[in-house]
Structure 1
Amino acid sequence: MEKPTRILLFLLAVILLGCREKPAPVSFDSLTEEQRHQSANALVGMTVADGLEAALFAAEPDLTNPTNIAVDAKGRVWVCEADNYRLPYNPKFKKREEGDRILILEDTDGDGKSDKVKTFYQGPDMVAPLGIAVLGSKIYVSVSPVLLVFEDKDGDDVPDSRDTLFMTEGGADNDHGLHAVSFGLDGKLYFNHGNAVTGLYHKDGSPVLDQYQRPIRTKGQPYLQGLALRCDPDGSHVEVLGHNFRNPYEVTVDHYGNVWQSDNDDDGNKGTRMNFVLEGGNFGYVDEMTGDGWQKRRLGWSDEIPVRHWHQNDPGVVPNLLYNGAGSPTGLMIYNGKLLPQPFQGAMIHCEALQNEVRAYPTSPDGAGYKAETAVIMKSENQWFRPSDVAAAPDGSLLVADWYDPGVGGHKFEDVSKGRIFRVAPDAGKYRFKLADLATLDGRIKELSNPNMDVRYQAWMGLMKLGTEARPALTKEWESGDPVRKVQALWLLARLPDANTGFLGEALKDEDPEIRVSALRAVRQFIPDQLPGFVEKAVKDPSPAVRREAALALRDLGTPQAAGLWAGLADQFDGKDRWYLEALGIGCDRYADLYFQAWLDLVGENWKTAAGKQLVWRSRSALSSPMLAQMIREEQDPKMTARDFRSFQFKPAEGRSDLIAGFLTDSDPEKAAMALGLLDEGYARSHPAALANIRKLIPAITGTPEWVTAVRNLNLKDQVPALMNTFMESEDPGLASDAAGAFFDLGGVSYLKAQFGKAGPDRKMELINRFKPVQHPQLVSFWSEEVLKPYPPNLLHGFVDALGYGWDGQHVLYDLVRNGKLEGDLKTSAALHMMNCWDTEVRAAAPGYLTNRKGKSGDFLPDLNDLADREGMPEKGKLIFTNLCTTCHQINGEGVAFGPDLSQIGDKLSPRSIYSSIIYPSAGINFGYEGYVVKTADGSVYSGYITSQNDRELNLRMMGGITQTIARSAVSSLEPMESSLMTPNLYELMEVQDLVDLVAYLSTLKKEEDIR
């Protein structure tokens, strides 16, 4: 009986062990700062969607700083590392001399953890690559200024060859460079780049030509800013799909050929977005006609900053799919698997580094376009969790790369030693699957539906190699009832030699509108000579999406038949669907007069419907200009009137100014004022009657935005006194800034000097305080003369403060103090301003002139980790911010719009990263806020950052939020600054606890509501 007793005791022990209370999960808040960053705690504070688990697949030291990943057909994870990321901006990190690496991580025992690491490639030329795609034996690596193609023909994980597919002008070691390649079931490669790239070239240096045989450049000749593109796998037949993005991090394409992107806004403007790419579309980052930035005042702009940011009120701008508020959008993919819960199937899966999330965006039809919802797949309480990319494994699980850093890039990072890969699945602890059958016909057909891009690519290529042998099996797929299987077959059947296009006619009758859309796309790509016949069949399609695609298909035809088809499509516009309207616009812009006339012939005098007016507003035809003028005369809504006047700026120049000038005598003063702002000096001077009407109109609109625009455009120097009054008195910061710019452009300094001479002490102080943010060279010269005169102390300090606002004035202060012209408190004040100078000589000399630094310990600051662990008082920090920071930053509309808006900085940066930004501001300059010194032919020097520029002028945002417009012809040099525009050594004005309180306050600044 002894043995059974032992067994019973053992079983009892097992039961009791199983009944013990499970230890409570560790909370993220309970961890120390050091513990939070240990890979053993990577899952603490991590939540995932119902039905899913997250597991740590790999971590440091196996990998660091992953920017992009790909998963191959074997389930291995390929990683782009970026240890040498932006080292000129991060000098505290040592360069990895061997260069950055492309790694292969493998789980050999199926336990969900990587246990084997290989270096596929490492070299000094590999500097912070941003994209990788593994497609069969070829590995595409995006590392501006090149898109490289490695080939591993024998599968030994060593590259046998390396070639350059494309080269870029610009974008090297820059977040806004060339991004990853994706494969579409049409057999094309899709890729994109941000707005640091200004041109695309072949490896021999010749420009890459677009579908219209034009060099692909992004300075308005013919494209703007960031681009979405596609090409054949060998780099031929490059097409630009969309332009005027800011920085679309990754592009993805679904089974039906729909192209999707994310895009990042200018930091702090709550305008990150998701885009459905209408082919040929303009996506609105800068003004299409002038290249001006979104902050440049224009008629009809939206009161909502995100809408204004993307020029959504302009004709010719594709609508945004989804606004995501403040963010840092990174990797993107379409999930084609079945392993994840149903809401994620077929959806975009997206990494949002700023919000520490991986999200899904399920879409549904919305007129001719789509609408999207947001579902969070994965989120961490750890603000260092910075998901940079996501990819699907062959089993349908997700692999997520984590850059792991307190910041989100933007030329800056705080940690070079860490990086993680997570795996998300219903059972994340197991990673075993049967390898895809890519050797047989049936296997290849089946694997077209695989969630993994490499598997799909190899299956697709294998079927293409079979050629017509694959037709019977593909035809069987086409005849199945499954829409995904049908569309997969459609793309291949359309490309087979001697393709029987009858099935495309059937596809155009399919009950699924997405299949019908795909049919039109396939015809456009592979049998364009048959396109008119297919479009004719689609003109009366009940689906707006199909008609949208038909409109886009007419873009390149330019025949009377095509014009008639376009008119038929336009006649079905409901007057509300912006997707449909922009598709019509894209479809007719190249032949605007021909197509628009066909529509006029169809509708005759019945064009004044809601839909007809929208078509007139959007049209680029000269025929539409008189109709637009008629609409404006009859319009009663001021907002619609402004919107319509704005449309004039997109019409052909022929006859446009005459139509606009006709409104100068309109009985509606608002219409007259809007018209006035659209005329230029040349037209006014050559048309005496118009000039006389302008003179009559000016007094009635003085002090309005339209008046400022008109005064500047028409060079009305007699309005200088009124411009000064507007600048002094306006409570609208934008209007005041515009008025100041016009005031100095028209020679207002002389008038200011005269007024200052006549003013009493209080008025003098008022003028100094109001004008001190303005750094006009003549004004700086005036202040430098006045500071040496026997004024009362408050005025002298005012002059020093005014001089301390910018480059020129700070150099004046430097000369004054070293020559003994300023003493005592004035010298101390001057030295503090000199410490803010971007000239390293001036800044280095400043501490030697400091006196009377009361209340500051002068001790070294604690290290960043120590500071990050300290608790501050946000209410005290708010007061410190008001006193020290509002001269450059805004929070919820309060303060000066010079540096980035900080309304949601607590969402964007961890406390440690905020400390770093304050203490080491030049270590990470936000893209778009790089400083420049502009010297003009007359010897003037301006400093600030460029908000917009074109061939005629550039707009420089200077300290105080003032925008200075400088003619290109007047610029003698334009030099980038080495240092940040942010005040250096700001922490020296605070006690340590003040700094802690300030960061505590900034950390509370987060979005007020979940905009999703």
Structure 2
Amino acid sequence: MRSFSIALLILASNFVSADEKPVRKPENAVAALDVADGLEATLFAAEPLLLSPSNIDVDHLGRIWVCEVVNYRHFANKDNPAREAGDRILILEDTDGDGKADKETTFYQGRDIDSAHGVCVLGNRVIVSAGENVFNFYDDDGDLKADRKEVMFTGIKGVQHDHGIHSFTFGPDGRLYFNFGNNGNELHTPDGNLVVDVAGNEVIANRKPYQEGMAFRCELDGSKVDTLGWNFRNNWELCVDSFGAIWQSDNDDDGNKGVRINFVMEYGNYGYKDEFTGAGWREPRTGWEDTIPERHWHLNDPGVVPNLLQTGAGSPTGILIYEGNLLPKRFQNQLIHCDAGPNVVRSYAVSDDGAGYKAEINDILTGTRDQWFRPSDVCVEPDGSLIVADWYDPGVGGHRQGDIQRGRLFRVAPKGNTKYVSPKPDFSTVEGAAEALKSPNVATRYLAWQKLHAAGADAEAVLKKMFTDDNNPRFQARALWLLGQIDGKTQHYIDAAVKHGNSNIRIAGLRLARRTNTDVVGTVTKLVDDKSPQVRRECAVALRHIKSDRKAKLWTTLALQLPLPSHDRWYLEALGIGAHGDWDNCLETIWSEMRTRKSDRANIIVSDVVWRSRADESASRIAQHILHLAVGASLEESRPILLEYFRALDFQPKSNVATEVATLLKPGTLGRLRKDTAPLVIAESLQRLSSEDFASNPDAKAALQRALTDLKGTSQYIELVERFQLTDRYSDLLTLAQAHPNEQIGVEAIRALLRNKQWKLMTQALKGDDAQSAIATATVMGNSLDNAINGPLLAAVKDKALAIDVRRAAVRAASRVNGGAQKLAGLVEHKTLDPELTQTVAAALHAAPSRSTREMADRLFPLPAVKEGKPLPPISQLVSMKGDPVNGRLIFNTTGTCHKCHIVNKIGREFGPDLSEIGSKLSPQAMFESIIFPSAGISHNYEAYTLVTASGTTITGLITSETDDSISIKGDDALIRTFKLDEIDEKVKQTVSLMPADLQKVMTVQEIVDVVAYIQTLKKK
């Protein structure tokens, strides 16, 4: 699956000869895992019984259904032999109760389910998500073989793509829930027509209103599709708890430490792309967050639902809500989730937080000693134990499948609970079905639900008993969903639920009213002043599709209870969801109410609501807040809020915005602003004027000149120069980029020049007399990660008239983008690369962001062998290894011989650079490069020279002094020798470092890692 949309991960071992490592063998699989206290993992099944499980489900009898994926993206994994008969849906059973699978059945096999990413078992019906289709398979005769197949949905894009269609699950309300990632794009009915959802929108990613990944629910027959959330990246799987709350994970753009867990607040936008423009998170925007993981999801934008939790880098896969009681208490009623990238299965302990939630992480299984452990899914057995599917592969990422010969299933249960005995549910009576409804296993609950739903009024007594038993609110909620769908009883049980003492039951009652379309306005009216902000949140969401003259008043009542001083974002976004389609009435109603109340609290709430609003008058109201802030508070106090409100203008009609910012730019208005806030207000206002509006507005032109003076050297300055094409200021942007080559402001400046094709300006800088400015230019160009840098940089690489340090900087910069890396490799292959740059190119390609580039480096520049005689792992893998700084210090001063040339804290020999504070300067990756490729980049003043004297003596070392009549050189013994110039016949600058090129030969891989760990501790105090 290899991506599950996942970050490109370093392979944990070579693809070949995996069996040579004992840890790879199934009998050692459990020993390679760390298991949470109180739990025990056992191997339920392994190869050859199953291979590469991408997704699983567990039926009511405890049988495990597996998507066995061998033909995963075979067009991109041609090294793997194709299974011509196609991928399989397997059924694995433990027939003797010993906790191990001993029976395998192939339910279905075919090329039409190659790379299936979802299986959902509903009695004799099995839903399989594969490629562009969702299939219903039916086992009509009970022999565990598919007898019929029909298409449920089709036309899904991203065929054999991890970002396409994913698995289905059964909800407690009797509907199906599912999702697709941002390559799914659209959903079609079996006859090929686009699905039109219950809101009347076509399900297609065209921002009208949906885009990117989406989450859905539908009736059991696939009708009445409801688009529940959108603008995810690769939301792999979702789950639904007994109260009807929806949870899922989502993957970031690979490598940005932004993997997230979402509570799916219905009809929310989840911020992967800009809501209106579709711009990605890298596109600069006003007031964006300081950290990339937060910036990644547009969390500063009004109209984006917050995340429950961000878990860093990873490859999120299967998720469930554990509502059993077999596992220890800390895992009960919590989310359990697989993350294949960091080799872990986690539990998320979710707790209430205002109108939303927060969560803490508890690990369950971790592949500490075997990084091929790639948990792809987790399900609950009828007995409450967990089954974890292990895709088992050397890597996940880049749509690669490194191994097709392995796959495992683990059972996780309390210690000592190795017996695998599933309860035998009785669906023949309503009493038996009611008991089965309490199962932690979803497939069991589905069959129980079907029996009880069909029984109707005959099941009321037994369900009512469950509903009135307060010992387990989740069982109560399951009963409620069925009681509320008994003819003639719906309103009665909705009323009973909304009076309940448990807020989650009240929420379920409101969701039941919406499910059955039963007096939703009346139900909201009963709950509109509920003490729980989460109940009120659900009331706001419930108003979204309501057409009623009472809506604006109910919405205002809810809005004026916005929790303060937290400025609860969950609550605010729920208000935005509820006001959709009726913003004018809602905003006018709350504005009138605020004038009546005349309280500070009401004023604060309304200012928050205005920020989120999308009414015709919103732009005017937002501009009023901007003016109020800029007049009354210092820039230090008001800057973050000013930026928030300017960002809010970007979600209003452009004509309205143009009118308001033109007013802000009038001399009379600017004269009222504080001196320190005026430049920001001017810059942000100008950014929101079109070229036509600017050209016809003399006030704006005057304000621009003032802003350019006040804002020089800032992001706003860059934006103004670019927006208004101020060509005479482009040199300022280059100077700014050169001054900050490794900072955001420098990257913004160089990207503006690249967008405006300022090749001549950049080329002149690379060829200029000031080498340090040229190096800074190359560095910042590389940090732009824009393929447009290739031309100027490759020209610099080839230009032997340039200083070698400039050319080295150009190599490193060009290697950061694929096009540049390929051109550098071409120079090597065609033997046209200047030999002086060989090690620089080797180090740069080995460290390149692209895996394909690193693989090319392995071929062109095989890494040298270490002390054990084995080749070094890739630098990127060395960086990920854990080092022992204590041992590293010992190696540094003994085996590594580093102390013979370097001083650390006044100890050692002063030949090479003093390393006492090197940890503050170089990253681990740069340190590894320096050890393995010492000539890739030689520090200034540490270039080696060879002197040949008239007497024939040769001395190589570092020039320490050079006058009109003498020259001094320091040898590797740290002694300085001075010669008169007339004694020197020849002085030659060396192209290689004096640092030994084979230093790694005296150390093991771990010792090298330990040395770097030690060097990292040498930091400025």
Asked if TM exceeds 0.5, the reply is: yes
Give 1:772-921 correspondences, 5 Å limit.
791=801, 794=804, 797=807, 801=811, 805=815
Taking the aligned partners of 1:150 and 1:247, their CA distance within structure 2 comes to 26
Instruction: Report how far residue 90 of structure 1 moved.
Output: 3.2
Match of 1:564 in 2: 553
CA distance in 2, matches of 1:190, 1:989: 58
Report the alpha carbon displacement of residue 736 of structure 1 after superposing the two structures with TM: 1.5
**How many Å separate the matches in 2 of 1:340 and 1:873?**
35
Q: Residue 126 of structure 1 aligns with which residue? A: 113
Distance 1:85 1:296 in 2: 33
Sort the Cα spacing of 1:208 and 1:658 in 2 relative to 1 into closer, same or farther, 3 A.
Answer: same
Deviation at 1:484, TM superposition (A): 3.1
Match of 2:59 in 1: 72
- The equivalent residue for 1:733 is 743
1:403-424 Cα offsets, whole Å, 9 max, x none, are 2223235522332221111112
Task: Say which SS state the counterpart of residue 364 (structure 2) adopts.
Answer: strand
Confirm or deny that 1:437 pairs with 2:426. yes
**Is the alpha carbon distance of 1:239 and 1:500 closer, same or farther for their aligned partners in structure 2, counting shifts above 3 Å?**
closer
Q: Which among 457, 474, 483 is matched to residue 446 of structure 2?
A: 457
C-alpha deviation, 1:795, in angstroms: 8.3
Aligned to 1:195: 182
1:58 to 38, 45, 48: 45
* 2:381–2:422 Cα contact (<8 Å) kept: no
Matched, 1:484 2:474: yes
Deviation at 1:181, TM superposition (A): 0.7
1:156 corresponds in structure 2 to: 143
Q: 1:589 to 1:36 in 2, by over 3 A?
A: same
Note the 1:190-589 alignment, pairs <5 A. 190-382=177-369, 383-426=371-414, 427-482=416-471, 483-528=473-518, 530-575=519-564, 576=566, 577-589=568-580
CA contact (8 A) 2:94 2:101 kept: yes
The answer (yes or no) to whether the contact 1:800–1:830 under 8 Å persists in 2 is no
Matches within 5 A, 1:636-655: 636=633, 637=637, 638-655=639-656
| Equivalent residue, structure 2, for 1:744 | 754
Q: Which amino acid aligns with 1:455?
A: T
C-alpha separation in 1, matches of 2:557 and 2:251: 37
Higher deviation after alignment, 754-763 or 388-397: 754-763
Larger RCO (CA within 8 A; separation ≥ 6): 1
Which consecutive unaligned segments of at least 5 residues does structure 2 have?
1-17, 897-917, 933-996
Structure 2 CA distance for aligned equivalents of residues 447 and 749 of structure 1: 71
Is the alpha carbon distance of 1:433 and 1:162 closer, same or farther for their aligned partners in structure 2, counting shifts above 3 Å? same
**Could you say which residue in structure 1 is the equivalent of 2:619?**
625
Residues 559-600 of structure 1 show CA distances to partners (whole Å, capped at 9, x for unaligned) of 321111101111111232221111111110221111111111
How many Å separate the matches in 2 of 1:615 and 1:65? 49
CA contact (8 A) 1:871 1:996 kept: no
Q: Which moved more, 1:55-64 or 1:763-772?
A: 763-772
CA spacing shift, 1:435–1:595, aligned 2, 3 Å: same
1:486 alignment partner AA: Q
Q: Which consecutive residues of structure 1, in runs of 5 or more, have no partner in the other structure?
A: 1-30, 881-890, 906-914, 916-987
Looking at structure 1, the residues matched to 100 and 811 of structure 2 have their Cα atoms a distance apart, in angstroms, of 60
1:864 & 1:831 partners in 2: Cα distance? 14
What's the CA shift string for 1:767-807, capped at 9, x where partnerless? 56665777989976667778888836638956984895567
| 1:660 is the counterpart of 2:661 | yes
Letter of the 2:184 counterpart: V
Q: What corresponds to 2:583 in structure 1?
A: 592
**Distance in 2 between residues matched to 1:785 and 1:338, nearest whole Å:** 67
Given that 2:781 and 2:813 are in contact with CA atoms closer than 8 Å, whether structure 1 keeps it comes out as: no
What is the Cα deviation at residue 839 of structure 1? Answer: 14
* Cα distance in structure 2, aligned partners of 1:176 and 1:385: 21
Q: Do 1:169 and 1:200's aligned partners in 2 also have CA atoms closer than 8 Å?
A: yes
Match of 2:704 in 1: 694
String of CA shifts for 1:793-837, please: whole Å, max 9, x gaps.
Answer: 638956984895567778988999999998775899899999999
* Shift, 1:238, TM fit: 0.5
Where do 1:677-716 residues align within 5 Å? 677-716=687-726
Deviation at 1:357, TM superposition (A): 2.9
Say whether the 8 Å CA contact 1:107–1:114 is kept in structure 2. Answer: yes
Specify the structure having the higher radius of gyration (Cα). Answer: 2
**Contact 1:369 1:545 (8 Å CA) reproduced:** yes
2:126 aligned to which of 139, 142, 158: 139
Deviations 1:950-987 (A, max 9, x none): xxxxxxxxxxxxxxxxxxxxxxxxxxxxxxxxxxxxxx
State the identity %: 38
User: Would the aligned equivalents of 1:358 and 1:379 in 2 still touch at CA under 8 Å?
Assistant: yes
**Does the CA-based 8 Å contact 2:218-2:226 persist in structure 1?**
yes
Aligned mates of 1:787, 1:500 — CA distance in 2: 76
Structure 1 CA distance for aligned equivalents of residues 998 and 547 of structure 2: 66
1: CA distance, partners of 2:397 / 2:695: 51
Distance 1:841 1:453, change over 3 A: closer
Q: Deviations over 1:594-636 (max 9, x none)?
A: 1111111211273763322211111112323223222223333
Q: Displacement of 1:148 after TM fit?
A: 1.3
Q: Distance in 2 between matches of 1:506 and 1:803?
A: 67
Say whether the 8 Å CA contact 1:784–1:803 is kept in structure 2: no
> Does the 8 A contact of 2:35 with 2:365 survive in 1?
yes
Give the 3-state SS of the residue equivalent to 1:385 in structure 2.
coil
1:18-37 matches, within 5 Å, as 34-37=21-24
Tell me the distance in 1 between the aligned counterparts of 2:854 and 2:381: 53
8 Å contact from structure 2 (residues 747, 781) kept in 1: no
Secondary structure in structure 1 of the residue aligned to 2:207? coil
Query: Which residue number in structure 1 is paired with residue 168 of structure 2?
Result: 181
Name the amino acid aligned to 1:531.
V
CA 358–784 in structure 1, closer or farther in 2 if over 3 Å, else same? closer
CA distance in 2 between partners of 1:322 and 1:431 (Å)? 34
> Matches of 1:373 and 1:840 in 2, distance apart?
33
Displacement after TM superposition at 1:88 (Å): 3.7
How far apart are residue 481 of structure 1 and its match?
3.6
Q: In 1, are the aligned partners of 2:747 and 2:780 still within 8 Å (CA)?
A: no
Summarize the Cα distance change of 1:237–1:767 in structure 2 as closer, same or farther, 3 Å threshold: closer
**How big is the shift at 1:654?**
3.8
Q: Which amino acid aligns with 2:351?
A: S
Aligned-pair CA distance for 1:227: 1.1
Distance verdict in 2 for CA 1:313–1:114, change over 3 Å: same
Any idea what SS the aligned residue of 2:42 has?
A: strand
Alpha-carbon displacement from aligned partner over 1:666-686 (angstroms, at most 9, x marks no partner): 432233333333334233123
Q: Please say if residues 258 and 277 of structure 1, whose CA atoms lie closer than 8 Å, have aligned partners that are also in contact.
A: yes
Question: CA-to-partner distance for each residue in 1:424-466, whole Å, 9 max, x for gaps?
Answer: 2234321124410011111111211111111110111112222
